[in-house]
Every structure is written in C-alpha cells, then in structure tokens.
C-alpha cells in the first residue's frame, strides 16, 4: 500500500495526514478524518491501524464516552448494534462472541478483518461508535422512502437527514460506471430506480453524519479545552470528493456554529486512472489483487 497526496500524486506518510488537521494559527480544533475504504483489503486495514494509533498515541485504559479524546465511527456496525461494541470495549464479551452475534445480523462484513480495528481502539482508549442504519432500512428506503424516514427518525434526529444534491447524484451514478468520475452518467441519472438507490445511500450518509456530529456537539457542550478527534470509516462511495458523510457533517456543524477541521483519505487499486477532481486529500493505493471480490468499496 502506498499513500499519496491526491493533488500532486507525491508520496506521503501518516504524519502528513495528521499535519493537515493543524490550523495555521496553531489553535487545536475538533477534527474529523474521513477514511473512504475499499472493504476488506489487508493493506488498507494496515493503514487504518497506523492512522488510529497516530491519532490516539497514548493507551489510556478503557474508553469513556464523556472524556475520550478520540472516537472511531464504523460503517460496519448499524446503530442498533452499539451494545456489541460497548460490551467488547468493556471486556464483557470476547472477539469470538462478538463475531457470532454480529454474524446473526445481515450486515455481512467479516469480523475476522474488522475486529482488529475494534481491538486497536480498545487498546488505545478510543470509543467505538456504530455508524449506519441497518441494511434492512436502506432496502426499505429504496421501496418506500416515507416509511423508511419515519423509522429512521427513531435512530437519529429527523432533522439530520439531508437530501442529496444534483452534483452528489451525478457522482453517485458515476460510481456505477467502469471509470468513476470520467464516464457519462446521463442514462443512469434518468433512471427512477437509480434515484431510489441514491436515497438509500443518502440515508446511510445522514446517519453516520449524525453520529459524528453528535460527538462534536457533546464535546462542545462539555466545554473541554482538549480537542476531540473522530476517525470515520466507510466505503469510499460515502466519502469521496467531499460528498456524502463529510458534506453533511459540515452542514450540521455550520448550523450549530461548531468549527471543525477535516481531511479525506480514500482508497484506489493501483490499476485505477487518476480521477478529476481528486477524490480526497490523500489516496491509499493498493494492489488490486488484494480486493475481496464480495466486498468492494462501491456502495451497497
């Protein structure tokens, strides 16, 4: 895996990502690192672990929601599974038990891969948060948007659902083409079915944005002088080009007068041509042979 500056394609290191979060005035603000991953790729996981350790370098014992300075928000767990993460963090359940309970759901991510992130977070005193609505709710969003939004309001505030705009929809459609960001999307954009699938994507984006915003909002209310940092990990289709999750967090923070720095790290196989505009601030380039054929970085 190689880390590159998206703008220049020059080699970069994890410390460069951290440096992007520092303001020119030297004033520490709340910060969010959005990591748009290609799912289940070993070298991508290695980069995420390095980044998590860099963001939370001091192992501080069990994580405390009220005082933790670093938070990890994960697409792989839906918000109804938060108790799984909490029990694991508290040492009340084993990795095997967590994986067994998780596999009874329809989320479908391999815990043999993602438990390494959860273990690292626990070891570093980082609080883990479930980030998405359940997959069943996303499917309902495709079939019946009104009913889905009514049910989603029981999981995150209804006002945190932010509709997608035309530019976001166009980019979303491009993800379904052979060369995202480059190929024509006119036919896809004309499809009512594609619009419904996009609504489901936006529902997921809005849910994770609500989780991230909630962390930032609680930190502001606490009056703590210590900045808080959030690492949000989701498929690259939810993060690239500043659409999706990050767009919604910025919107919610602006409404609440919360100043926040952010940086986008995304992933691409080495065979992909450079996109225009750059999909993020940094790109993790990996060998395409690593990619799990059942779990791509494209939205599902």
Burial class (CB in 10 A: 0-12, 13-18, 19+), 243: buried
Alpha helix locations (H) across the chain? 14-19, 42-55, 82-89, 95-103, 111-124, 135-143, 145-152, 166-174, 186-189, 192-222, 245-255
109-146: burial string, b at 16+ Cβ within 10 Å, e else:
bbbebbbbbbebbbebbbbbbbbbbbbebbebbbeeee
What pTM value is reported for the model? 0.92
Could you tell me the end-to-end alpha-carbon distance of the chain, in angstroms, rounded to an integer?
24
125 is written with which tokens?
Answer: 């005193």
From 272, 295, 265, select the one nearest 48 (Cα to Cα): 265
What's the rounded mean pLDDT across residues 107-113? Answer: 95
* Sign of the torsion formed by the C-alpha atoms of 220, 223, 229 and 234: negative
pLDDT score at 24: 43
Model confidence pLDDT, tens digit, residues 244-299: 999 999 999 999 999 999 999 999 998 887 666 789 999 999 998 886 544 444 44
pLDDT score at 181: 62
216 is written with which tokens?
Answer: 């930032």
Which of 3-12, 101-110, 181-190, 250-259 shows the lowest mean pLDDT across its residues?
A: 181-190
What's the rounded mean pLDDT across residues 27-50? Answer: 92
What's the rounded mean pLDDT across residues 9-19? Answer: 93
- Higher-pLDDT residue of 280, 181: 280
Rounded Cα gap, residues 232 and 280, in angstroms: 14
CB atoms < 10 A from the CB of 27, how many? 10
User: Within its chain, how far is the Cα of 94 from the centroid?
Assistant: 25
Model confidence pLDDT, tens digit, residues 129-148: 999 999 999 999 999 999 99
Residues of the chain above pLDDT 70, percent: 88
pLDDT score at 225: 85
- Given pLDDT bands bounded at 50, 70 and 90, which one contains residue 59? low
Model confidence pLDDT, tens digit, residues 65-90: 667 889 999 999 999 999 999 999 99
Model confidence pLDDT, tens digit, residues 97-106: 999 999 999 9
SS3 content of the chain, % helix, strand, coil (to 5): 45, 15, 40
Rounded Cα gap, residues 149 and 278, in angstroms: 32
Q: How far is CA 105 from CA 40, 200, 293, in A?
A: 18, 19, 21
- Higher-pLDDT residue of 211, 294: 211
Rounded Cα gap, residues 206 and 160, in angstroms: 6
Angle at 90 between CA 60 and CA 36, to 5 degrees: 75
pLDDT score at 275: 63
- Given pLDDT bands bounded at 50, 70 and 90, which one contains residue 177? confident
Rounded Cα gap, residues 300 and 254, in angstroms: 29
pLDDT score at 29: 83
């Amino acid at each position: 895996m190689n880390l590159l500056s998206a703008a220049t394609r020059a080699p970069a290191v994890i410390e460069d990502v951290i440096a992007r979060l520092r303001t020119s005035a030297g004033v520490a603000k709340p910060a969010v690192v959005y990591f748009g991953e290609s799912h289940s790729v070993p070298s991508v996981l290695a980069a995420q672990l390095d980044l998590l350790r860099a963001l939370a370098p001091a192992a501080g014992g069990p994580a405390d929601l009220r005082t933790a300075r670093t938070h990890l928000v994960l697409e792989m767990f839906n918000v109804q599974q938060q108790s799984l993460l909490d029990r694991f963090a508290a040492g009340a359940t084993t990795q095997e038990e967590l994986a067994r309970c998780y596999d009874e759901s329809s989320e479908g991510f391999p815990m043999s891969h993602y438990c390494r992130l959860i273990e690292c977070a626990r070891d570093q005193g980082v609080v883990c948060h479930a980030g998405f609505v359940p997959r069943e709710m996303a499917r309902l969003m495709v079939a019946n948007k009104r009913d889905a939004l009514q049910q989603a309001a029981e999981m995150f505030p209804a006002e945190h659902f932010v509709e997608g705009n035309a530019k976001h929809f166009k980019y979303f459609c491009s993800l379904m083409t052979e060369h995202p960001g480059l190929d024509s999307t006119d036919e896809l954009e004309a499809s009512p079915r594609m619009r419904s699938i996009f609504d489901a994507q936006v529902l997921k984006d809005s849910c994770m944005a609500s989780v991230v915003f909630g962390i930032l909002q609680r930190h502001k209310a606490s009056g703590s002088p210590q900045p808080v940092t959030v690492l949000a990990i989701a498929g690259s289709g939810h993060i690239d080009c500043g659409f999706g999750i990050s767009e919604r967090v910025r919107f919610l923070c602006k409404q609440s007068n919360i100043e926040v720095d952010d940086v986008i790290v995304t992933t691409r196989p080495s065979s992909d041509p450079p996109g225009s505009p750059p999909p993020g601030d940094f790109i993790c380039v990996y060998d395409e042979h690593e990619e799990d054929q059942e779990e791509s970085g494209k939205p599902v």
